[in-house]
Amino acid sequence: MIGLRWQSAVDFVVLTVAIAVVLRWSSETRALRLSLSILALRVAAVLADQLGLLITTWVLDALTLIALLVLVVAFQPELRRAVMRLDLPGRAAHERQLPTLVALATAAFTLAKVRCGALLVILQEDSVDELITGGVAITARVSSELLQAMFQKQSPLHDGAVVIDGDQITHAGAILPLTQRSVPDEYGTRHRAGLGLSERSDAQVIVVSEERGDVTIMRNGSAQVMGDLDALVATLRTTASAESTRSQRRRVRVRLTAGVIAVSFLVSALVWSATFLLPGRSVRIQTAPVELTNVPVGLIVDAQSVQAVQVWLRATDFVFGSVNIADLVARCDLASAHAGVNVIPLNACFLGAPLGVKVDRLAPRELRVTLADTSRR
């Protein structure tokens, strides 16, 4: 049997990985149902095309295009964020450079001096889209002055949290999940919210107390009061460096759940099966040489009716482009042949056609092989 080219295996792996990445992103941005719908439409379109349903294929293609447009429009911020993160390893270290850290620390301690409460969320690797609710989406570069203005009493956003991704402010007035643990009596709602988010993600949360005027940083469910601005900058800088190192390792091994991998493999298998197992509409005629094997001991081939056969092959254009039909050979096993004229009916079994290629017919339909006894010569 002539196997598929190695390029076909690479195509299958690439398709599986691409579907897995899309599903991983969509599960983090609440676009999973829409992404699964798009994949289902594409699989259905491939099946319809293979079955020759022309109008159905047009309809499914149009629906897929509409669904893609809806995805782009409805999830534009999430797509932009995903594209921004597709960069060289080490980008995280450059995103949150020292000026950004100093601006965060300066804003926190300036607000603490005037007893103005604040809640700053610094994103790391984990998505917090499912944890944070409400708020206003904005795009602005981090600055101490802007952060201080957001938490003034007259600001409509001062009660919520400001979310910072790299050196950009992405949300203001966001609501964080409260911790369910018992906390010190002096902790208010801001501290409970900061602990709650740090317990559920790797985000860092800076909490400025309105009552005591202190600055606390929360990460991994623990809290640490900062003594001064320099101490906060040093802590943020150390964590940013550690997160950058972990980020590089995580980019090498993509974190995918078993469910995402299973669905991706299943969808890829469906597309691959529809491409290679369903009958195609393209027909090609190929000349295949006849090869005689297992000639019995003591006999030799004295004559054969044809040296090659014409083969009518049916498959899809994609399959024809994925296999090499020029290597097709009609192999005839003569192990049970006898001296004299042997009439061998020819069928698809002699060809060993590659997967996805169907043999419609052969010409001629039979082969005559004359074997002679070497002892009589």
The per-residue pLDDT for range 161-195, each reduced to its tens digit, is 899 988 888 888 888 888 888 888 788 888 888 88
pLDDT, tens digit, for every residue of 4-61? 556 667 778 888 888 888 777 776 555 667 778 888 888 888 778 777 788 888 999 8
* % of the chain beyond a pLDDT of 70: 82
pLDDT digits (tens, 9 = 90+) for 113-160: 888 988 999 988 777 777 888 888 888 888 889 988 888 888 877 788
Greater model confidence, 350 or 11: 350
Which domains does the chain possess?
Answer: 6-86+254-276 (no CATH), 91-244 (3.40.1700.10), 282-376 (2.170.120.30)
Least confident of 37-51, 132-146, 271-285, 302-316: 271-285
**Cβ-based neighbours of 264, under 8 Å, separated by 6 or more:** 16, 17, 19, 20, 23
Least confident stretch, 105-119, 325-339, 346-360: 346-360
Kindly report the number of other CB atoms within 10 A of residue 153's CB atom: 9
CA–CA dist 127, 333 (Å, integer): 63
Least confident residue range of 80-89, 148-157, 234-243, 270-279:
80-89
Burial 93-123 (b: 16+ CB within 10 A, else e): eebbeeebbbbbbbbbbbbbeeebbbbbbbb
Q: Which of 28-32, 83-87, 103-107, 145-149 has the lowest mean pLDDT?
A: 83-87
Tokens (6 digits) for 238: 């150390």
